[in-house]
Amino acid sequence: MPSYALFDVLKGHFMDGSRVASVDAPTALKKSIQDHLVHLLNARQGVMPHLPDYGLPDLTAVYQEMPYSVNTLAESVKSTLVRYEPRLKNIKVTPYPVAKGDFVLHFQISGQMMSGEHLRFQTYFLSGGYATVAIGGARATADA
């Protein structure tokens, strides 16, 4: 079974710039999942006509209703990952407390790969709803 997605092979590199062919299989799988999480969490529902529920709902209401809406966003993130990231199971999304006046939402996403290995991602939603995803200290963003 391949360690990465077809999209990774077609691009030839991961978001952090490392070439797909130069990365060992376990690392390639983690990078592929991380890259997909960045794309998935930065997509908004309704943008892809063939997959209308791909991505997250508009985050404007989340920011307007902070801090009360953080758990609602955590539930949306989890349900989206369960549906669209099949390489992770037993997914948990844990929000960190929001500092007063802070517009950065921080979540820990954890899950288990088919190999049984556990992964943790530090996920940040910046003002405007833009998401970054970090694993092992390497942060990936959608513009990479």
- pLDDT of 37 over the 70 cut: yes
pLDDT digits (tens, 9 = 90+) for 41-51: 999 998 889 99
Q: Which helix (H) or strand (E) holds 27?
A: helix 25-42
**DSSP three-state, residue 26:** helix
Task: Give, in words, the CATH class of 6-140.
Answer: alpha beta
**DSSP three-state, residue 44:** strand
Cα angle 101, 102, 105; round to 5: 145
- Edge-to-edge strand list for the sheet holding 131-135: 89-95, 105-112, 118-125, 131-135, 138-140
Confidence of residue 140 (pLDDT cuts 50, 70, 90): low
Rounded to the nearest 10 degrees, the angle between the axes of helix 25-42 and helix 70-84 is 130
Q: What is the pLDDT of residue 33?
A: 92
Q: What is the pLDDT of residue 138?
A: 46
Give the type of residue at 51: L
- pLDDT of 141 over the 80 cut: no
Higher pLDDT among residues 24 and 80, named by residue: 80
Q: Provide the residue ranges of all domains of the chain, joining segments of one domain with +.
A: 6-140
Whole-angstrom CA distances from 38 to 13, 29, 63, 140, 142 are 15, 14, 19, 7, 6
pLDDT digits (tens, 9 = 90+) for 79-121: 999 999 999 999 999 999 877 777 788 999 999 998 999 999 9
CA distance 118 to 105: 23
Nearest C-alpha neighbor of 91 from the set 120, 67, 125, 60: 120
- In this structure, are residues 95 and 106 in contact, taking their beta carbons and an 8 Å threshold? yes
